[in-house]
Every structure is written in C-alpha cells, then in structure tokens.
Amino acid sequence: MAQTVSSTQQGSPDDQVAERLTAFCRFDTGDPQASVSGVAPLPGHAGLSFQFSLRYRLGSEVKQESLMIRLAPVGGRVAGPADVARQGRIMASLAGSEVPVPAVRWFGDDNRWFGAPYYVVGFVTGPGLLRGDQALNRDNAVGCTETALRVMAKLHALNWRALKATWGDPVTVSAELARWDGLLMRPTLEPALVEASLPLGRRLRARLVEPGPVGCVHGDFQWTNLLFRGDRILAVLDWELAMIGPALLDVAWLCLFCDPASWSTDLLVPRAALQPPEVVALYEAATGRRIAPDIMNWFRALAAYRLGAITIFNLMLHRRGKRVDPAWETLALSLPRMFERALELCP
C-alpha cells in the first residue's frame, strides 16, 4: 500500500500521520491545544485510511469526535479513484438525502497537510455480511438485500442534474466500456489475464445495449461497502467510482457479488446471499420499473469485465511494489471463471 508521508521523516508512518493530523486539526478547529489519539490504519483496497479520535475546545465546550481520514497515494495522478477530495465532495452532496453516508468533516487537495488529497468523515462502525461478521439466515439475507436495493433506488432517484457540478457529466455506456478497454491496454499488465478478458470485451462491444435510466451511480455498491445494524444500513462507503451514468451498473455490480457461479472463492459472496434474479426483482419492486432480462444480463457481463480490469490493474501495482495488497492475488484467481460466466450471460 502506498505510503502517504515522506520517507525522509523520522518515525513510523502511523506516527507521522498522527503528527500531521494534529497540526491539521489544530488549524481547522482553531484550538491550538487540540489533540489526536488512537490513530490506527483501517483495512481496504482503495486508498490509505486511518481511524482516530479528536479532542478540542469550542468556546467553553470540550468536543470529542471519532473520525476517519482517507488519503490518496502520494505522487500519483489526482484523477479517478485517487481523487479523494472529489469523494468527499460527493458524500457531502448527499447530506440530508435518504442515502446514508458518513458525516463529512473536511476534505481538500491542499498537499501541505498530508502530501496528498484527503477527506475526513465521522467514523461509522457496523458489522458486514461476509465471513461470519453478521450471522445470516435466509430471512436476514432477504431483509438486508431489500434494504440495500431500496437505498440504491433512492440514490438513483436523486435529481442528478442538480448534482452535475459535483458529480460530473453523465457517462455513457460506450464511454464506460471504453474506460475499461483502455485500462486493459497497459503494457505492464499480466498478459494471460488480459488475454482471458479479450473475448468478453469483444462480446460486450458487439452487443452494446441501450443504457436504461440514468442516475447517480455509486459504482462499487457491494457488501463490503455497506455497514449494517440488523437489516438497517448505517452507511454506504467508498465513493471513488461514483458517477452519473446508467443506473443498471449498480444493480449488475451487486448481482456479481451475489453470484457464486462467478467466483472461485466465497470470500466476497455472503452466506445465504440471494441469487441475482432475486436481487433484480427487489430492485424492480423498489423502483416500479421492469428490466429486460437481456439488458440486465449485458450489464452483469459488463460488471465482470469491469471488476476484471480493476483486478488486473491492481494486481500489476501489487506485484510491482507500487501498492502492495495481496488481496488482488486472491481476486485474480476468480477471473477466468468470472469471464466465462459473463460470456454465458451475454451469448
């Protein structure tokens, strides 16, 4: 994982982040005695994140907050998933909506504080649905999935035209497909995995479909980015792939993470997960719209191509030591089957 502080400084990276956080929080709270404690790295595959506690004085009152900071990799191009300040703006744009997001405290791209763009949000804790984090039976799975699809539908129903200044212009289906085509053209990627992806890319281009409804799209709407308490969602996390575009991208993405037939491992598919047709039916119920099966299957195939491109690219970064994360080795094991399954969906 990329280090976000200068290697010339003394002390561990965590200590350096704590020092920088202290200086930053003293400046932004206006309290020269503000203190930061409990700085600890958080798991994840899309940036460097730390939990911390902030104590400061506001007038005569002492405030205590539990917060999280996400930092972009130092020295990288500030675009796409690395545009961490954009993610902060997007979450802030959802405040007051029916889409639960962490409360945004600060965000910015002033590199003097951390050497990279950042955002700071309230720290939200809650069990996930993977690897036994939350015991699921069939009823729990139905309740959690219904909630997830209702939240997704509320996101897609937002007035995206009013949010364009923050979210950007709408992305077309062909532009989204071209984005992943381009990523897979990098010369440093694993040739065998790129070769395995090519038939699916050709099939998707040959069967290009109408986009369906356009809306605000999360882009990575799957179980590890949803924090639950019971069957209530506390927060939707990780907005680095958010865009205005085809709403079915989110539906198909969640279907991929509910489809054991697409995976060689069960690490990312919760126990008792509903099957993709059940997910689609719940989304149709939440929106009152019917989705043609062939169009839904095309988007499900695109979801596999998308995740394949992301995995192959991040596997390259991991193996070259630029962003070390062994999880991409495990994810890559599923790609051949994932591409085969996608071709079955999009004959």
The single-letter code of the amino acid at 224 is: T
pLDDT of residue 44: 65
> Please, what are the domains in the chain?
13-122 (3.30.200.20), 138-345 (3.90.1200.10)
Q: Would you tell me how many other CB atoms lie within 10 Å of the CB of residue 98?
A: 12
Q: Cβ-count burial of 339 within 10 angstroms (0-12 exposed, 13-18 middle, 19+ buried)?
A: buried
pLDDT along the chain (347 residues), means of 10: 36 76 96 95 75 95 96 70 90 97 94 92 79 58 93 98 97 97 96 98 96 96 91 93 98 97 89 92 97 97 98 95 90 97 96
pLDDT of residue 81: 72
pLDDT of residue 278: 97
User: Hunting for tokens 């007038």 — which residue is that?
Assistant: 59
pLDDT of residue 20: 94
pLDDT of residue 1: 27
- CA-based Rg of the chain, rounded to a whole angstrom? 21
pLDDT of residue 8: 37
pLDDT tens string 103-124? 999 999 888 999 889 999 999 9
Nearest to 46 by CA among 72, 78, 14, 76: 72
